[in-house]
Chain A
Amino acid sequence: MKKIVLTIFLAVMACGAQAQWSMGASAGGDYNWYSINTQYQNDYHYEGAWGWSAAIFTQYQFKPWVALRAEVEGASKNYRFARSGMYKGTHYNYYNTYVQLPVMAKFMFGSEKVHGFVNVGVYAGYWASSQMKGQIWNYLADNIEKVDQAYEFNKSKDQRADFGLAGGLGLEWKLAEHWAMHVEARCYYSFISTVKQYMDIKDYRYNTTIGLQAGFSYIF
């Protein structure tokens, strides 16, 4: 481990002559899919849902074509539960908020003024909150009940830690000597099931999120 840290440190030092620090912020919208096996529950549907994302980031550029980027981001990973057929009166959204830390290598191509980039890396996240909002058909009273309540996390079941692959594709414009802006299509592909394997029957459920962000950065 010491060797790896030392190697990275030396590499950073070696690139020091050309290196540039920058910091910035970005925000945008995202769309999340929830992968779940609904088994025999044929009229249960988990559909994707829109959300938001906002981040602050720092970037260390070693070479004109490569940089290391780290972010602190708040992002939605929403999805919608809906029933079809005779129970279609029931549908509600899970509004999930995650705090996550993507660390990515940024590869750039194009001119200094306008260039494209590819981000590839990993992220670690934490499922901070969840809200259920929508409606349920109450068949006992035969009426529609509005639902807007916090989802209560269950320690045994809910896996609040998240980890996965982060990647993006974008364009960056250098507006002035110290200022740049960018747009980026980002994808988070989680490897951690949102449910722990708390029962002998194995059950895995995953989030996959894509987003479109725009932001600016200050180059030191």
Chain B
Amino acid sequence: MKRIKIYVALAAICVVSLAGCRPEGENILSYGYNDAQAFAPAGESYAAQFEVLWTAMNCNYGIWDYEEELGVDWDQVHKEYLPKFKALDDTTRQTRVDDKELDSLYSEVLNRLHDGHLYVQIKNMQTGKNLSYSPSTVRNLRERGEELRWNRNNSTDLHYYINAGEWRMLDFDETNISMPSREHIFRMSKLVLSKIPAFIATLPAQGTSAAADSLRTVIESMQENANNFIDRINNGSDVPTLITDYNFFCEVYRIPCKMMDINIQPVDNQMANRNELRSICYALFPGNIAYLRFSSFALGKHLDTTVLQEDSSSVYASYQWAINRIWHHWFDTIQVLSKNNELGGVIIDLRNNGGGNASDYQYVLGALLPSGGFISHTMRTKNGMGRLDYGPNMPFRFPTYPAEHAVIDKQPVVVLANVNSVSMAEITSWGAKNMPGKNGKLIGTRTWGGLSCLIDDPTYYSLDYSGCFGVENVTPVYVYCPRNISLYGEENKILESVGITPDIEVTLDTAKYLLNGQDTQLERALEYIKTGN
């Protein structure tokens, strides 16, 4: 019995003493949303701000394994840059930390990262300015700057190909969607211009009153702006931008307008929202080739009749009606031609398309695929705060058109893409290369390289405790980055900063395009559909 007691005592001593051999880890704060405790230090010192960025990126950024493969050592970044940020906090400094100095340090830290969506905003606490970083923009400008810049300033114009008697085209402007907005801005600008001379006449002579002189300067600026709006309307300027500028004008000059007895009214600015569709175009080319081009994946909310705006007389309602009309022209034409076995092919032009909602898949490539969804590739999310904590891969299932429709699995489908095809435009490009009927082709140039998926509403942070953190223009650090990391092909490859490579690589002959609007990429797509090569 005595021996038993000794054994038990020895065992107990061993267990208790050895149980203390497990070190404990550190406690980490959540940086998901505007958490005062977590973000507070970032507004107090540059070193603390860097620590917040470093730690929050460490926990929330989804592709550290990929970054490691590409040679990024995030711990080394911490070791190397923390002393540099500490130096900015040195109270014996003779000069304040200007934006250029801070920008230079953060550019070095951030531009090494490869996520195609990554956007970082850092507030310089001494100047109050928010500094912005988009590593993928820097990379693409460095590697493919010419193509990127050219495409940003030029959007494909089909008029070269449209023979009015033979080919058909329907684009945004033909629906007269922007007419009410343009008319409103034109009318208000004319009103402002008509009232200015009489108002200036009531002011004391120049040089007699400082207040009157500064008011005169303001009125002259109003006059210049109003004239500019009229010029832009006459020249067919981009309407959403015009609306944005005009609404800003209304806000800035509200008081002078009141002084002139003008009740200046802004335009319903939902159309000018950056997430809205700025252009959509349908065409039917000879050989019954149905063509669709649109600026972003923001179709769904206009095509889903259950969420259409209730006020049918508003400018926004007519905008939605126009989008419906154009998209249905494309979709219905494909349906009719397919039923009659007359469809030559389909072109979806995603060049210069900035991406958008994943659910729009059903109205684009998904409108040609069978109902029930399409597994394009796989994805993973984070499942812990560790840099390399990832959950299982799961299928990335995109919605396809739910109602009964003709499936296009024999006729050729071409997606056109270029360096300015981003996010959903790239995901759709991948889908074209992997259509179940093997009838899809990607033509153009390699895409942007931002192929993952994100939800930027911070209230959804706890979905995976990853992705975007902070609040833009509010917290001293704000980061916009994906939470669902897309993995492509059998090897589950991450293609951030790589993009999707076309099946047929064709660069746009810009000289020909500038000369007469000839689009060599579109021509190659038409040739492929007609010849099969």
Contact = CB atoms under 8 A, between A and B. Distances in A.
A139 B460 CA distance: 11
Contact of A191 (B22, B27, B391): B22
B74 interface: yes
B14 A165 contact: yes
Contact of A140 (B11, B15, B388, B484): B484
B70 interface: no
Nearest to B3: A109
A208 B441 CA distance: 53
Interface in A118-153: 118, 120, 132, 136, 138-141, 143, 145, 147, 149, 151
Interface in A186-220: 189, 191, 193, 195, 198-204, 206
Contacts of B7: 107, 109, 118
Contact residues on B (Cβ < 8 Å of other chain), bracket: 35 or more
Interface string B1-17: 00110011011001100
B465 A41 contact: yes
A195 B55 CA distance: 18
Nearest to A169: B11
Contact of B74 (A43, A81, A199): A199
A138 B21 CA distance: 39
A204 B383 CA distance: 16
Nearest to A195: B386
A157 interface: yes
A204 B14 CA distance: 22
Given A41-B384, A189-B19, A195-B386, A201 B28 contact: yes
B397 A120 contact: no
A203 B8 CA distance: 33
B18 A139 contact: no
B393 A204 contact: no
A204 B23 CA distance: 7
A139 B32 CA distance: 18
B465 A198 contact: no
Contact of A145 (B26, B29, B385, B394): B394
Interface in B294-352: none
With most chain A CB atoms within 10 A of its CB, the pick from B25, B28, B395 is: B25
A37 B384 CA distance: 10
B75 A81 contact: no
Nearest to B20: A191
Contacts of B14: 120, 165, 167
Nearest to B484: A140
B216 to A, nearest CB: 57
A65 interface: yes
B18 A165 contact: yes
A138 B463 contact: no
A49 to B, nearest CB: 16
A141 B383 contact: no
Contact of A44 (B25, B383, B386, B397): B383
Nearest to A191: B21
Contacts of B397: 138, 140-141, 143, 145
Contacts of A138: 394-395, 397
B394 A204 contact: no
A202 to B, nearest CB: 5
Interface in A152-205: 154, 156-157, 165, 167, 189, 191, 193, 195, 198-204
B462 A140 contact: no
A87 interface: yes
A147 B394 contact: yes
A145 B396 CA distance: 10
B517 interface: no
B58 A165 contact: no
Contact of B383 (A81, A193, A195, A200): A81
With most chain B CB atoms within 10 A of its CB, the pick from A38, A195, A201 is: A201
A145 B391 CA distance: 13
B515 to A, nearest CB: 45
Contact of A120 (B11, B74, B373): B11
B444 to A, nearest CB: 27
A201 B58 contact: yes
Contact of B65 (A39, A154, A206): A154
A201 B10 contact: no
Contacts of B4: 109, 116
B169 interface: no
Contacts of B387: 157, 198-199
Given A39-B28, A120-B14, A191-B18, A140 B453 contact: yes
B24 interface: yes
A201 B29 CA distance: 12
Contacts of B384: 36, 38, 41, 44
A31 interface: no
A92 interface: yes
Contacts of B25: 37, 201-204
With most chain B CB atoms within 10 A of its CB, the pick from A65, A191, A206 is: A191
Contacts of A140: 358, 396-397, 453, 484
Interface in B55-114: 55, 58, 65, 68, 74-75, 78
Contacts of B78: 200
Contacts of A92: 392
B30 interface: yes
B71 to A, nearest CB: 13
Contact of B392 (A40, A136, A141): A136
Contacts of B383: 44, 81
Given A37-B25, A157-B388, 5 more contacts: A118-B8, A151-B392, A154-B388, A165-B15, A195-B386
8 closest A-B pairs by CB: A40-B30, A157-B388, A203-B25, A141-B397, A145-B394, A147-B392, A132-B392, A191-B21
22 contacts: A37-B24, A38-B385, A39-B30, A39-B385, A40-B30, A41-B385, A41-B462, A41-B465, A44-B383, A44-B384, A87-B462, A107-B7, A116-B4, A120-B10, A145-B395, A145-B397, A147-B392, A156-B388, A189-B15, A199-B387, A204-B24, A204-B25
Interface of B: 3-4, 7-8, 10-11, 14-15, 18-19, 21-30, 32, 55, 58, 65, 68, 74-75, 78, 358, 373, 383-388, 391-399, 453, 462-463, 465, 484
